[in-house]
Amino acid sequence: MVLLLFVDLDSDLAALRTLGGFSVLRTGVPPGSLLPTLARAYAPPPDDGGPDVYGDPIIFRVRKVAKSLRAPETRIAVSVAQQALAARLWSVSLGAAALYGALPDLDPRLLAWDPDASTPEELWLSEVRALPATALGEMVLDGHLVPLAAALRARYTVSARLLWGNAGAALAGAVRLLDRWARETGRPEAAERVRALAAPLLTHPDLSWTLAPGTLRRRSCCLYYRLPGGGLCGDCCFDRVPRTRAGSRTPRSSPGATSG
């Protein structure tokens, strides 16, 4: 059993900056901006495009990703956008657990989201309040990934299996990065805390099937290989890039599964 020591969160979550990239979270209100919250993004699509400059933030983000990556299919952009946000949420949460032994409350109503920005500029936490590290699953899975998947599936034809595969892979990726950071900085206790929190999450019904035990290799594909110049991710379910021929059936995103 790992003891999760609780350290008060600082008001700007400065300790997370030592982790870099996906684990950094800005706090306060973005200057001169009226960004939608993630709660707004997860809501049903607005009939009139919504009151903010981005209209529907989910659709705006997917279109931006599709254009940036020259995605030949919308579902590829959906997958990439969703996995990136899932990775951010896992990384911030696990990073805080590693360093503080506590979590910043990532209630979707507190997280402003700029769907036109890149990491770590896209998320702003308006109020820093602490939660116990054991709230990780409820906060990220139930509070974000479930409504995010529902929001995407309400707007696009994309399989739930693909989205949950992305969520599981994003969790495993966050654990690997934090474990590497902990080894390089001589913080084995931080890595132990992260692994202790992640292990039960990987047995959750929505995630338990997503990764092969031991290797943590994906059992579904994020579709990245279908991008121009795209290849296989390090944890891909495929051994080689699937080849298609004109008129052939589109390869499935998961071997033996419904096409994603």
Is 144 contained in some domain?
Answer: yes
Task: Please report the pLDDT score of residue 250 as a whole number.
Answer: 42
Is 244 contained in some domain?
Answer: no
Query: What's the CA gap between 74 and 67, in Å, rounded?
Result: 10
Is 191 contained in some domain?
Answer: yes
Domain that holds residue 210: 14-226
Relative orientation angle of helices 188-201 and 74-100, to the nearest 10 degrees: 130
Task: Please report the pLDDT score of residue 52 as a whole number.
Answer: 54
Per-residue pLDDT 10s for the chain (260 aa) are 444 455 678 889 999 999 988 899 999 988 767 899 999 999 987 676 554 557 899 999 999 999 998 999 999 999 999 999 999 999 999 999 999 999 999 999 999 999 999 888 899 999 999 999 999 999 999 999 999 999 999 999 999 999 999 999 899 889 989 999 999 999 999 999 999 999 898 888 888 777 657 666 665 665 656 667 666 565 555 556 676 544 333 444 443 333 33
Is 219 contained in some domain?
Answer: yes
Q: Which two tokens stand for residue 93?
A: 């949460």
Closest by CA to 13, choosing from 110, 96, 70, 94, is 96
Is 30 contained in some domain?
Answer: yes
Is 114 contained in some domain?
Answer: yes
The pTM assigned to this predicted structure is 0.83
Task: Please report the pLDDT score of residue 259 as a whole number.
Answer: 33
* Neighbour-count burial for 16-53, b at 16+ CB within 10 Å, e otherwise: beebeebbbbbbeebeeeebbbbbbbbbeeeeeebebe
Is 169 contained in some domain?
Answer: yes
Task: Please report the pLDDT score of residue 228 as a whole number.
Answer: 74
Contacts of 198 (CB under 8 A, 6+ apart): 94, 171, 172, 174, 175
Query: What's the CA gap between 25 and 110, in Å, rounded?
Result: 12
Is 245 contained in some domain?
Answer: no
Structural domains of the chain, count: 1
Q: Are 133 and 99 in contact (CB under 8 A)?
A: no
Query: What's the CA gap between 235 and 24, in Å, rounded?
Result: 24
